[in-house]
Structure 1
Amino acid sequence: MITVNSLEDISCEISKLSNLISALELATESLTAADDEYSRQCRDATVGLVEAMRCQLEKARKEVHNQIHEALERKRSA
């Protein structure tokens, strides 16, 4: 069974992943000055990947938040 503590641990890991994605975004910004086609394609692919990762991360964050809330409600009701 997933406990509130394990959900909070997962939430903490999600925050760490969010920070890593932010670092990747900063690294991607340095590619904006790219002047050749290959570099632009790499930048565009990286930007797309970061956006997809951020979307999935936000879904996971919401799910964990909901599960924490539900677990706390069950604990209070018991």
Structure 2
Amino acid sequence: MPQKEQKIAAAVYLYQADNDGEWGEIRFDFATGTAEIVWLAEWDTIKSNIFARTAIRYIQSLPEVRLLKKAIVMFDQAL
């Protein structure tokens, strides 16, 4: 019997600002299209949250059927 297509309602992602620092956590609610930074990764600043915001933009830009278990997001901040 074929299974019905199921949509993902929520997800939790871990992210790093550098290669060896502490991980941060981001939670997504795809039903409402919102994201929440639970805690910041080491080297991510409290004021700008630049690395967390970059990860959020990248994940929210993916089609729901392509949500990844693991990804590397390149970050280049123009000065």
The two structures have a TM-score, normalised by structure 1, of 0.34
Higher RCO by CA contacts (8 Å cutoff, separation 6 or greater): 1
The two structures have a TM-score, normalised by structure 2, of 0.33
More strand by share: 2
More helix by share: 1
